[in-house]
Structure 1
Amino acid sequence: MMSAIPLRRAGAVALCALACMSAGSAIAETVLRTVPSSDLKILDPVWTTANITRNHGLMIYDTLFGMDEKGVIRPQMVDKTSTSADNKTWTFTLRPGLKFHDGTPVTAQDVIASLARWGKRDVLGQRMYEAMASITAEGPATVRMTFRQPFGAVLDALGKPSPLVPFIMPKRVAETPADKQIDDLTGSGPFTLKKEDFRPGDRVVYRRNPDYVPRKDAPSGLAGGKAVHVDRVEWVFLRDTQTQVNALLNGEVDILEVVPSSHYPQLRTDKRVQMVDIMPAGPFTVIYNHKVPPFNDARVRKAAMLAINQEAMLRAQATYRDFYKPCASIYLCGSPYASDQTGFFTGKPQFEQARKLLKESGYDGKPVVIMLPGDAPALSRLPVVYGQLLRQVGFNVDVQATDWSTLITRRTRKEPPEKGGWNAYITFWGGVDASSPITYSPLTGNGDRGYFGWPEDAELETLKTRFIETADAAQRKDIATRIQLRAIENGILAPVGEGKAPTVVRSGAISGLLPAPAVLYWNVRKQ
């Protein structure tokens, strides 16, 4: 953990350097320092669905399309789009002047390679490639996709804001096998990152990309012009919430991406800082490992879901009612596909029914390992309370503390817990991500090809295919509700309710933050 002392020393060194410069010899850099939501350990945004890695990807990569703050998919790297009358052929031409960080132009071949790697790991990408007949380069800057049947979610896929995002990388990087992490950080976006500027557990230093050509459109969410107004953005990792708050109040950092709930009353009234509501609410979700006992039994998963007490779990995690809301729907409450048709699941504990199911399953009392990310304050209390609720049902629970980077690595393992695997963990999803069955990553039933936990449910996958194939709004709503009921009945995931927290900045120092699924650092100015 970094204390406030090194930050002060760093500031003193910067001031000394500025004072020592002769007049007109140089211009001081504008450095924006922020405390992100968690530590960054994995740099490959196609290899993991961790939000912090997605946020890193937004810094150094660009996308063909982007979602604006109203949820509309708009062109980003793409200049022109055309679609055939039968909706089976899509053609995209890139904007002129696009370059990678090494100065080489972005070409159609780079796009094809990037999409191919992404499509091997992303659930919606897999669906798109299953429907695709071919993807070809029609010249240096034009890509053509041809489908065997109409695929109504092309723009949803190419402009999706949630992990995994189809970021565009150089062909040589994108040719890295999808099950291996990339080691080349050459990107296509508004910031650059050098390997020596990546210091896990300390900080990551992003530098403005002077060769990046923003769109001329006004910025909106993940779309529009990504104009950078600072020279450097430093992600400073401070694990202790009190240290975070002290650093902000002392001016050593400029932004806390997430307000620590325990310090909410203090920060809400302190005139040195300002709270800004830019990120939408999102759901907390229990992910069960369907591969290993006991959650390979649907009765056990159902028993575990019946133990959930959303109000108790959310109150323990967020403390203040402004920060949470119980919601039994799998989709974000208030979003177009949210539904109160949730079958047996209410978000309130049903202990007697849960005990009955657990007994019927023949559960042998083997410890259930729930991973707890101690360095992620926004998640760290939920596993403790859930463990207590599961014990009331009859589970033998082992809540194992770890850090977030270890958790997201460990969750890739399919072995039993005693061999390094896991049984369950709780995570958080952005509200935009969780508002549709085709962007909500854990809502999958395609086994080893799907999200961690690897549930198998052919009926769920069939429903998702029907959702993708239709453009009729009423039919989509009906199918989305049926997907929700199927997912709950089979224990694909368990809703814990919704949480949100404002971002907090130094008063009068920061402007231009955009409403978006992540804290974005283009369009931001530091006074």
Structure 2
Amino acid sequence: MDSSRRQFLVGSAAAAATLALPAPYVQAQKKGGTLRFIPHADLRVLDVTRYTGYITNRTNGYLVYDTLFALDGNGQVKPQMVDKWSSSKDGRKWSFTLREGLKFHDGQPVTAEDCVVSLKRWSHRDPLGQFFLAATERLQATDKRTFVLELGKPFGLVLEALAKPSAVVPFILPARLAATPEEEMIKDAIGSGPYKFVKEEWQPGNQVVYLRNAEYVPRNEPPSGAAGGKHVYVERLIWRYIPDPATAAAALEAGEVDIWEQPPLDLVPKIEKNPNIAIITYDTVGNQGWIRPNHLQPPFNNKKARQALVYMADQQQYLQTAVGQSKYFRQSGAYFVSK
């Protein structure tokens, strides 16, 4: 059963600056201003290499960090931090060269060594990264901007692994942070992405602040998915964590915030009546909900009991109760099955 497509509630003051607009309007935008945002969760952990939570690894991660490759809107692998790359015919030897002028938020240049150390930390944590690591015989910087990868056995997902868009994303960190012992959490957030994390203004449970990275150099290609040029206009981004939905709704309607991510669907009918608020579905795939019984314990260690549960579950009734408006869910006949 599919439910709860991701929703934005956007106050009218922010809509023009944050919606995807035709090129002439984008070119006309001016840099500056502050955007106030209610995220779906509180940012309490900064380590994007160990923590898989969406708020840290995706919402925060793509603001602060950049990746070597990325998936575009069609799911195709595109270069991001990488300028050029090559591979041998058998796919066992690879060479990657970074774009010129890449800098971390502390002013230090991004080097090939940063990439090597970051990938090693990522590959110990991420499931796909572990396959990448198991196939790797050599991963080494050869100069300031170039590193090589040599595989000891076939691995056909090299670029796909480096462009992985979900937790754990292979973000590139300064080597000094990526070299943090695996059993320890990284306690800072310094990347080369379009926004700088302002640690001094971070208040877990209340507020997160980001500033536009004036030295960020976007790619020339148009933005698509996680790939292409990331053109940043808003100077200051403030996250306000408001866990109580009624309080968040009141803040939005009063103009105290500009965007509310993932509002509860039972509040949407009331809020969408406000002519100053736009509701945007930005993830049409949405989320999937499922019932997963414990196959090891009675009664669900019995196949017949699991089949009975399937017949007993009325998806329409379940979703209607859990979600409410039928336009926000659809039934699914799919099942996850073992090999």
Q: What TM bracket, shorter-length normalisation?
A: 0.7 to 0.9
- Alpha-carbon offset, residue 286 of structure 1: 5.8
Of the candidates 273, 285, 288, which is equivalent to residue 284 of structure 1?
Answer: 288
Partner residue in 2 for 1:53: 56
Q: How does 1:211-290 map to 2 (within 5 A)?
A: 211-285=215-289
User: Which segment drifts farther, 86-95 or 308-317?
Assistant: 308-317
Q: In 2, distance between residues paired with 1:168 and 1:298?
A: 46
Of the candidates 96, 118, 124, which is equivalent to residue 128 of structure 2?
Answer: 124
Conserved in 2, the CA contact under 8 Å of 1:66 and 1:76?
yes
Partner residue in 1 for 2:114: 110
- Alpha-carbon offset, residue 210 of structure 1: 1.4
Q: Which amino acid aligns with 1:99?
A: K
Q: Which amino acid aligns with 1:43?
A: L
Of the candidates 75, 91, 94, which is equivalent to residue 90 of structure 1?
Answer: 94
Report the identity percentage.
40
Q: In 2, distance between residues paired with 1:107 and 1:326?
A: 49
Q: Which amino acid aligns with 1:78?
A: V
Of the candidates 185, 188, 191, which is equivalent to residue 184 of structure 1?
Answer: 188
* Count, aligned residues: 304
SS of the equivalent of 1:59 reads: helix
Distance change >3 Å, CA 307–CA 46, structure 1 → 2: farther
- Alpha-carbon offset, residue 268 of structure 1: 2.9
Deviations 1:375-421 (A, max 9, x none): xxxxxxxxxxxxxxxxxxxxxxxxxxxxxxxxxxxxxxxxxxxxxxx
- Alpha-carbon offset, residue 304 of structure 1: 6.8
- Alpha-carbon offset, residue 285 of structure 1: 4.9
Of the candidates 313, 324, 332, which is equivalent to residue 327 of structure 1?
Answer: 332
Distance change >3 Å, CA 204–CA 149, structure 1 → 2: same
Distance change >3 Å, CA 190–CA 327, structure 1 → 2: same
Q: Which amino acid aligns with 1:315?
A: Q
Deviations 1:97-155 (A, max 9, x none): 00111111111110011011110110000011111121111211112111123311112
Of the candidates 79, 82, 106, which is equivalent to residue 83 of structure 2?
Answer: 79
Q: In 2, distance between residues paired with 1:188 and 1:97?
A: 11
Partner residue in 1 for 2:338: 486
Distance change >3 Å, CA 260–CA 227, structure 1 → 2: same
Q: Which amino acid aligns with 1:319?
A: G
Q: How does 1:332-371 map to 2 (within 5 A)?
A: 342=335
Residue 152 of structure 2 corresponds to residue 148 of structure 1: yes
Deviations 1:162-215 (A, max 9, x none): 111001000010011233210122212111113222111111011111111111
Distance change >3 Å, CA 295–CA 50, structure 1 → 2: farther
Partner residue in 1 for 2:20: none
- Alpha-carbon offset, residue 277 of structure 1: 2.2
Partner residue in 1 for 2:72: 68
Conserved in 2, the CA contact under 8 Å of 1:47 and 1:179?
no
Q: In 1, distance between residues paired with 2:54 and 2:276?
A: 29
Structure 2, unaligned runs of 5 or more: 1-29
Structure 1, unaligned runs of 5 or more: 1-26, 330-341, 343-483, 488-527
Distance change >3 Å, CA 131–CA 28, structure 1 → 2: closer
Q: In 1, distance between residues paired with 2:316 and 2:193?
A: 41
Please identify which structure carries the higher helix content: 1
SS of the equivalent of 1:278 reads: strand
- Alpha-carbon offset, residue 312 of structure 1: 4.1
Q: Which has the higher contact order (CA 8 A, sep 6+)?
A: 2
Q: In 2, distance between residues paired with 1:178 and 1:42?
A: 15
Residue 166 of structure 2 corresponds to residue 162 of structure 1: yes
Conserved in 1, the CA contact under 8 Å of 2:207 and 2:240?
yes
Of the candidates 19, 41, 46, which is equivalent to residue 43 of structure 1?
Answer: 46
Conserved in 2, the CA contact under 8 Å of 1:40 and 1:53?
yes
RMSD: 2.5
Of the candidates 10, 26, 32, which is equivalent to residue 35 of structure 2?
Answer: 32
- Alpha-carbon offset, residue 313 of structure 1: 3.9
SS of the equivalent of 2:337 reads: helix
Conserved in 1, the CA contact under 8 Å of 2:92 and 2:151?
yes
SS of the equivalent of 2:283 reads: coil
Q: Which amino acid aligns with 2:33?
A: T
SS of the equivalent of 2:161 reads: helix
Distance change >3 Å, CA 285–CA 250, structure 1 → 2: same
SS of the equivalent of 2:184 reads: coil
Q: In 1, distance between residues paired with 2:292 and 2:138?
A: 36
- Alpha-carbon offset, residue 230 of structure 1: 0.9
Q: Please say which structure displays the higher CA radius of gyration.
A: 1
Partner residue in 1 for 2:21: none
Deviations 1:63-110 (A, max 9, x none): 111111221121110110111111111211101000111111111110
- Alpha-carbon offset, residue 297 of structure 1: 4.8
Q: Please report the TM-score for the alignment, with normalisation by the length of structure 1.
A: 0.54
Conserved in 1, the CA contact under 8 Å of 2:98 and 2:146?
yes
SS of the equivalent of 1:33 reads: strand
Conserved in 1, the CA contact under 8 Å of 2:31 and 2:234?
no
Q: Which amino acid aligns with 1:117?
A: R
Distance change >3 Å, CA 118–CA 297, structure 1 → 2: farther
Q: In 1, distance between residues paired with 2:51 and 2:108?
A: 27
Conserved in 1, the CA contact under 8 Å of 2:211 and 2:236?
yes
Q: Which amino acid aligns with 1:47?
A: R
Distance change >3 Å, CA 103–CA 131, structure 1 → 2: same
Q: In 2, distance between residues paired with 1:28 and 1:221?
A: 22
Q: In 2, distance between residues paired with 1:146 and 1:224?
A: 27
Q: In 2, distance between residues paired with 1:157 and 1:179?
A: 23
